[in-house]
Amino acid sequence: MTGGDYVTDVATGAVIGVVTGGIGAGGSAIANTAAKEVSKGVAKGAVKLAVRAGAGAVAGATGNVINGVAKGEDITLGSVTKSALCGVVGGASSHISSNATKIVSGDVAKAAIRIGTQVTTSGATDATIQARFNIF
């Protein structure tokens, strides 16, 4: 890797972080607003889960496209779909950790749940990608 490649990777990562962070924040706002329109309980949670997973899919696909364009790589439907699916897992993970932290007290326990959820889902997603399942 050359110095120019490194700078391109860092700059691309920063752009992806800003864009996908905005998508995530927007998804969170939409999830909270949409959930207010639903009565209570499971339906409310299902709405939030669906919106967070959808925002994750958009963020994953968008990150893939930005990365591909920046590196001059071919962008395929398969690669975008895989990235979108990884984003769905990330969105669902966010939803799970958000709800799981509501049942414990203490900042350390809440942080442990968030970290554990993130590590578990990230590890599972990465392992799946590394296994190179050609599903698309």
pLDDT band, residue 133 (cuts 50/70/90): low
Q: What is the pLDDT of residues 58-77, one digit of tens each?
A: 999 999 999 999 989 999 99
Asked whether the predicted pLDDT for residue 31 surpasses 80, the reply is yes
DSSP string, 49-72: HHHHHHHHHHHHHHHHHHHHHHHT
Residue 29: its H or E element? helix 3-36
Any residues with CB less than 8 A from the CB of 24 and at least 6 apart, and which?
55, 56, 59, 94
Of 95, 98, 97, 101, the residue nearest 53 (C-alpha): 95
Q: Answer whether 0.85 is exceeded by the pTM.
A: no
For 104, other C-beta atoms within 10 Å of its C-beta total 12
Where do the structural domains in the chain lie, given as residue ranges?
Answer: 3-130
